[in-house]
A = this chain, B = another copy of it.
Amino acid sequence: MATPDDVDRIIEQWRRERPELDLAAMATFGRLGRLFAHLGRAVDETFTRFDLQRGEYDVLAALRRSGAPFVLTPSALSDVLMLSRAGMTNRLDRLEAAGLVERRANRSDRRSMLIALTETGATLTDEVTTLHVANESALLSDLTPDERHHLDTITRKLLSRFE
């Protein structure tokens, strides 16, 4: 048995107070939630070094990986990043002010805009991404190859219910 952690202590409290409940799933959710909080902070350190927020990087990354000419509509960005349209408008305002993206007219649909990475934005994105993926790899480096494979299988299975 592994050494008890914070979640074990929480579950033990619940078991004492509400012994009739099935708490296995609560333990899993508790670990996932806390893990997500910690990993989020660790990941953000990379972005902070470049005066970026995670959400801003997510926009730059979506544009960059879409390939040349690095152009997407705000709606497409909203959908892929699971962010409201209003929130996307706000992010794009910031990125545009920072000179990392620019808004262009969409000649085929005048309701729409096209968001394009600037030269500066593309260069920055490549630089940040290199460090970001290295950081992510390091954060998972404690896991064995089998464990990584299991984690991917499980998250893929759970995700399939939603996407």
Q: How far is the CB of A138 from chain B (nearest CB, A)?
A: 8
A25 shortest CB reach to chain B, Å: 4
Q: Is B31 a contact partner of A65 (Cβ separation < 8 A)?
A: no
Given known contacts A129-B18, A142-B158, A152 and B64 CB-to-CB distance under 8 angstroms: no
Question: A29 touching B136 by the CB < 8 A rule?
Answer: yes
User: Using Cβ atoms and an 8 Å threshold, which residues of chain B touch A32?
Assistant: 35-36, 39, 155
B158 pairs with A143, CB closer than 8 A: yes
Which B residues are in CB contact (< 8 Å) with A29?
A: 39, 43, 136
The verdict on A65 contacting B14 (CB below 8 Å), with A22-B137, A150-B147 known, is yes
Q: Is A26 an interface residue (CB 8 A)?
A: yes
Interface membership of A106, Cβ < 8 A:
no
CB < 8 Å: which of B2, B142, B156 contacts A31?
Answer: B156
10 contacts between A and B (CB under 8 A): A2-B156, A5-B156, A13-B66, A16-B67, A17-B65, A28-B136, A31-B155, A143-B154, A147-B154, A151-B151
Mask, A87-131, CB within 8 Å of B = 1, is: 000000000000000000000000000000000000000100110
- Number of copies of this kind of chain in the complex: 2
Contact A158 B133 (CB under 8 A): no
A163 within 8 A of B: yes
Given contacts A18-B126, A26-B136, A133-B26, contact A5 B147 (CB under 8 A): no
Nearest-neighbour CB distance to chain B for A145, whole angstroms, equals 10
CA distance A154 to B140 in the complex (A): 10
